[in-house]
Structures are given as C-alpha cells and as structure tokens.
Amino acid sequence: MRQRTDGTGLATRAIHAGERPDPTTRAHNTPIYATATFAFDTAAEKEDAVDRALEWDPRSFFYSRTGNPTNRALEEKIASLEGAEDCVVAASGMASVSATLFAHLGAGDHLIVGDEVFAITRVLWEEDLPRRGIGVTPVDMTDLAALEAAFTPRTRVVFLESSTNPRLRMADLAEVSELAHRRGALVVVDNTFLGPALLRPLEHGADLVVHAATKYLSGHGDAVSGVVSGPKALIDPVRKQTDTFGQAASPFSSFLVLRGVRTLPLRSAKGSENALALAEFLESDPRVEWVRYPGLPSHPDHAYAARVLGGRFGAMLTFKTAGGVEGMQAFTDHLALCDIGVSLGDVFTLVYPRPKDGAIIRLSVGCEDVDDLLADFRLGLSFVG
C-alpha cells in the first residue's frame, strides 16, 4: 500500500485528515458504518476489543454507542484541525458541553462560566449543575479582575465562549488561561462561533475546545453534532461520560459533518468577507442604532480580535435597528433572499430576530454573493421608519 499524507496546511488537512479510501471496497468517501455491533472470529478477539474500547482506545470497535469508524474519522479530522491529541464526537453540541462539564466536575466543585453563553448552556449551569451540588459563578470574562475574584478553593473549571452569543464579546484566552492554570483550574472554550479555520483555542492556552458541529463544522444545516478536543488524558473522561450518558453520535451525522469540514476554510473566509461588508454597511445606515462585529473598530474587543484572528473576524454579527420590536420586524419580515432561522453556520445567510433580548437581530452570514446580500438588506431597511 502506498504511503499517504494528510499534508501540513489547514485546508489540506480539512480535506484529508482522518480519511482514506475504504480498505475493503476502495470507496473514496468514508462509508457510513450503519451498524450497531461488530463481529469477531473468536471469543478472545471479542474480549480484547471490548477491553481496549473500555480503556478508551478510540479505534477499537465493538458497539457503536462506544465507537464507530465513521465517527472516528470525524474525530481524527477535527483533532488535526485543532492541533489536539484526541477528539470525541457526540450527538449534539450540548451533548459535548454537558459531557465535558460532568466529566470534570463533581459534587462540591465550583465552575466559573461566562455570563453570556448559549441559552441551553445557561439552563445547564443555572439548573442542572446546582442540582448536582456543583457551584456556579457567572462572570464577564473580559474583566480579568472580576474573573480572579470569582475563584474559590473549589474551582475546577472555567468555561467561556471564544465569541459570545449574541453580542460577540471576545475575552483574551491567553490571559484567562494563565489565570485559571495558576489557580489549578481547567479552561474549556466553546469555539462554535469562530471555528478552527479562524481560531484554535488550544494554541492560546485552553485545555479543551468544544463545538456545536451542527454549525460551521457541518456548514450546510443538515446535521446535528458536537465535538470536544484536547489532550487524551482529558478527553478519555469525556468519552466515558458520552458513552455512559448514551450521547453517541449518529454515523449518518458524522458523514455529513465530514463532508462539511472539507470546505470549512473556504466557507470561513467567504463568510468573514461577507460579514465585514454587511457590518460596515449597517453601521453607516442611520436606521441602525448599533452593530456588534469584532472586525469593526467600534467593537470593544476589536484590538484583541485583530491580533488573534488575522483579519478574518467570523461570519456572525449582531445589530439593532431603530424602532424597537416594530423596526426589527419591519426589517426581518421584508427580506426577499435571507431566511429567518434560529441556527447559524450555514452556507445560507440566516436572520435571527430576538424581540425578548432587546429587539436585536443576530446574523449568521453565509456564502452568497455580497452584492445580493447588500441588496436584500437595503430592501429590509427601507421598511424601517
């Protein structure tokens, strides 16, 4: 068999890492291994496979809840892109978040969490973690003094989003990590809004990085999935928790995410380019009260974002029209190209009106021609008083 390489560049690894022609059929795409169980020639062979799998060898397969070859191909691809030793895929982004926190927190421990996070992550730390005897303190992660003051002798984990949902604040990950490690705590970063083509938190001191792979990693709005990457010693407990909670990823979803990740660098570049153009356009329009986008000098964390993102600031932006809820609805309800939707990371531009959150509008900017997006936004704004 000829020697193969994944290459060294990010785009090359996004295409090749974790994948090879199928050894049995020579199929070029990674197959969907739609099987619950795996067969063995002997009882001893079965015992060996089970023993290795339950010692968290991710390439020992006996039952698809614990490990599946399609899922493993995705894990290896994401680990390569993150610069991580290992990765575990789960049924959703929240499965990855909850498995990670429950794997590294127990009764009596304390978590410091960013005060602006995804709504269901908020439910987890407001309701589920305290019910299990885990203390939680929310903190503005851009305020290092507040973060330092939140530590207790029981603090085990600091959890934050690299770019917050929905106002896109960006804490300095290196400073947060240095402070947490000095206090003996792990740093877990949800990097869903940016993705590894733009930011790799492990390179900035984080211990574990989580994604809702449903979003940018998949990129096509057709799969629900989650991943967490980091050192194997920290991933093994997460893999065990994912298994015992029954949060196994579907190989069908992993197949779709594998396909999506191959174009992640291309989509990240185009989405960032489009988002910057839209942010600049919206900020210049008097019918828009404010715009939050890390690529704009007006963003409070622009200097940090410019330093760590290298000129590509992501495809998420949030803004507020004049006229409150009525102005918000006038804009969103008259768009002719962009759809209203609650998710993000798709090649389609998605508009998420949030009347209960100050009548703001969150945009997940897609890969359309920017002139068409600008024309649609001009149309929507023409209905704002």
Annotated domain spans of the chain:
93-211, 264-381
Over residues 195-250, the pLDDT tens digits come to 999 999 999 999 999 999 999 999 999 999 999 999 999 999 999 999 999 999 99
Residue partners of 62: CB distance under 8 A and separation at least 6: 37, 38, 40, 46, 49, 50, 53
Over residues 155-200, the pLDDT tens digits come to 999 999 999 999 999 999 999 999 999 999 999 999 999 999 999 9
Residue partners of 371: CB distance under 8 A and separation at least 6: none
Distance CA 259, CA 220 (A): 10
Distance CA 269, CA 151 (A): 38
Over residues 290-333, the pLDDT tens digits come to 999 999 999 999 999 999 999 999 999 999 999 999 999 999 99
Strand partners, 89: 227
CA 170 vs CA 229, 276, 278: distances in Å: 20, 17, 20
| pLDDT confidence bin for 2, thresholds 50/70/90 | confident
- 264-381 adopts what CATH topology? Aspartate Aminotransferase, domain 1 (3.90.1150)
Domain 93-211, CATH: 3.40.640.10
Instruction: Determine which helix (DSSP H) or strand (DSSP E) holds 282, and give its type and residue range.
Output: helix 264-283
**Structure tokens of 149?**
């003051």
What does pLDDT average to over the chain?
96
Distance CA 338, CA 322 (A): 20
Over residues 144-155, the pLDDT tens digits come to 999 999 999 999
